Amino acid sequence: MSLLRLLKGLDRAGVAFVVIGGVAAVAHGSARVTNDLDICYDPDVANTDRLARLLRRWHAYPRGVEPGLPFILDARTFRDVHVFTLVTDEGDLDLMDEVAGVGPFERVRAASQLVTVEGARVSILGLDALIRAKRATRRPRDEDALVELEALRELGRRKRRVRREE
């Protein structure tokens, strides 16, 4: 899997998305390892058309589903299904059109920050919103990650205070 190829491919295809989950946590300094890319996508029809075309090129298929079953990936699928866990030629990709604790895509985008990764412009969910999202899921692995994310937030606050005092 190549997270970089996934990010660059989404960027080149003009897909509006925000990186959430483990990769966003790593971008904020987390030492945790993740094996997939989680994104929140804009459910706008033009955006889901672009996303569906890209995912078809990547041979996307539902993760954990028996191979060979019918799976049509188009704008209608995005209208009817709001969370996808997919395996692709580029790696595992989880998609959702809203994030628990944050809200629908527009709120997720408003709570994100733009970064450049190897030439690709990528929005990453901000640390405060990521903490809210992890709290809202109530999964044991997210509870564990919260301790680290909250420590990173406090470290950032202390660094900003020191800079202001200088």
For 63, how many CA atoms within 13 A lie in the half-sphere containing its CB? Answer: 13
Query: How does 12-38 read in b/e, with b if 16+ C-beta sit within 10 Å?
Result: eeebbbbbbbbbbbbbbebeeebebbb
pLDDT class of 155 with cuts at 50, 70, 90: confident
Whether the per-residue pLDDT at 84 is higher than 80: the answer is yes
Whether the per-residue pLDDT at 26 is higher than 60: the answer is yes
pLDDT (tens digit, 9 = 90+) per residue, 42-77? 999 999 999 999 999 999 999 988 888 888 888 888
Q: How far is CA 128 from CA 113, 146, 149, in A?
A: 11, 11, 9
Q: Which residues contact 7 (CB under 8 A, 6 or more apart)?
A: 19, 37, 117, 120, 122
Query: How does 60-96 read in b/e, with b if 16+ C-beta sit within 10 Å?
Result: bbeeeeeeeeeeebebeebeeeeebebbbebbbbbbb
Q: Which two structure tokens, joined as six digits, stand for 132?
A: 């809210």
Whether the per-residue pLDDT at 118 is higher than 60: the answer is yes
Out of 24-33, 54-63, 68-77, 114-123, the most confident range is 54-63
Mean pLDDT of 13-19: 97
Q: Do 18 and 39 touch, CB atoms closer than 8 A? A: yes
pTM over 0.85: yes
Whether the per-residue pLDDT at 1 is higher than 60: the answer is no
Mean pLDDT of 25-41: 89
Q: Which two structure tokens, joined as six digits, stand for 42?
A: 């804009």
CA distance 131 to 57: 34
